[in-house]
Amino acid sequence: MPLRVFEDRYLRLVNDLLSLPADRPRAFGVIGIELGHEVGEHTVRQLAQVGCVAEISTVRQRPDEGFDLLVTGVERFRVAELVEPDDDVPYLRAETTPLPDEVGDDAEGWGERVARRFALYRERLNGVGVASGTPGEFPEPPLPRSYSVAGAMILDQSDKQALLEAEHAAARLELAAELLRRENRVLSSLRLLPAGRFLRHEVNLN
For 144-184, the pLDDT digits (tens) are: 999 999 999 999 999 999 999 999 999 999 999 999 999 99
pTM of the model: 0.81
> What pLDDT sits at residue 65?
86
| Residue 128's pLDDT band (cuts 50, 70, 90) | low
Q: Where in the chain is the domain with CATH 2.30.130.40?
A: 2-99
Interior angle at CA 71, CA 29 and CA 158, nearest 5: 55
| Residue 200's pLDDT band (cuts 50, 70, 90) | very low
Question: Element (H or E) spanning 90, and its range?
Answer: none
CA atoms of 180 and 106, how far apart (whole Å): 18
Domain 2-99, CATH 2.30.130.40 — does that match? yes
